[in-house]
């Protein structure tokens, strides 16, 4: 996404649980997940075809991997700062975006698809792995 969207401020006025930055991160995570799964993101303004669609579970798993890549062991702290306490919170954000037309869903998608995918405290701490890439960055 990477650009300012005033519609997100409409969401925040109606549902102030999550800040603008959390929604930006969600869009970045969606792109990361689509790339990770070999599903290319359609050009801006076009409806995603079914092959571009990711399930709630796939998105949450992608969010977790992207957060660990971006924030490392601080991922849980960042999510806490953004008010994200459980994986279902990502579902709330997605459906807020669907409601204003910035994301889409299929008839089979539901909020329950995002519930209890992993425990936020343990999943973000225990699944972090220091890769050679991270080790090389530390030595610089």
- Burial string for 74-111 (b: 16+ CB within 10 Å, else e) reads ebbebbeebebebbbbbbbbbbbbeeeebbeeeeebee
Which one has a higher pLDDT value, 131 or 104? 104
When the pLDDT of each residue in the chain is averaged and rounded to a whole number, the result is 86
Residues 43-100: tens digit of each pLDDT: 666 655 557 789 999 999 999 999 999 999 899 999 999 999 999 999 999 999 999 9
Q: What is the maximum alpha-carbon separation in the chain?
A: 49
pLDDT for position 43: 62
Model pLDDT, residue 42: 56
Which residue is it, tokens 């990477």? 2
Q: Which pLDDT does position 128 carry in this prediction? A: 73
Q: What pTM, to 2 d.p., does this model score?
A: 0.82
Poorest-pLDDT segment among 58-62, 68-72, 128-132, 134-138: 134-138
d(CA 129, CA 28): 21
Which whole number is the average pLDDT over 91-114?
A: 94
Average pLDDT over residues 133-139: 51
């Amino acid at each position: 996404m990477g650009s300012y969207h005033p519609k997100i401020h409409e969401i925040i006025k109606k549902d102030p649980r999550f800040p603008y930055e959390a929604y930006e991160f969600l869009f970045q995570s969606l792109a990361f997940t689509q790339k990770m799964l070999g599903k290319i993101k359609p050009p801006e303004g076009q409806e995603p075809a079914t092959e571009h669609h990711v399930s709630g579970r796939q998105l949450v798993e992608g969010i977790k991997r992207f957060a660990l890549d971006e924030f490392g062991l601080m991922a849980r702290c960042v999510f806490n700062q953004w008010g994200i306490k459980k994986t279902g919170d990502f579902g709330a954000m997605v459906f807020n975006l669907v409601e204003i037309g910035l994301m889409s869903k299929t008839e089979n998608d539901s909020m329950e698809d995002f519930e209890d995918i992993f425990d936020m405290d343990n999943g973000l701490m225990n699944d972090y792995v220091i890769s050679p890439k991270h080790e090389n960055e530390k030595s610089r």
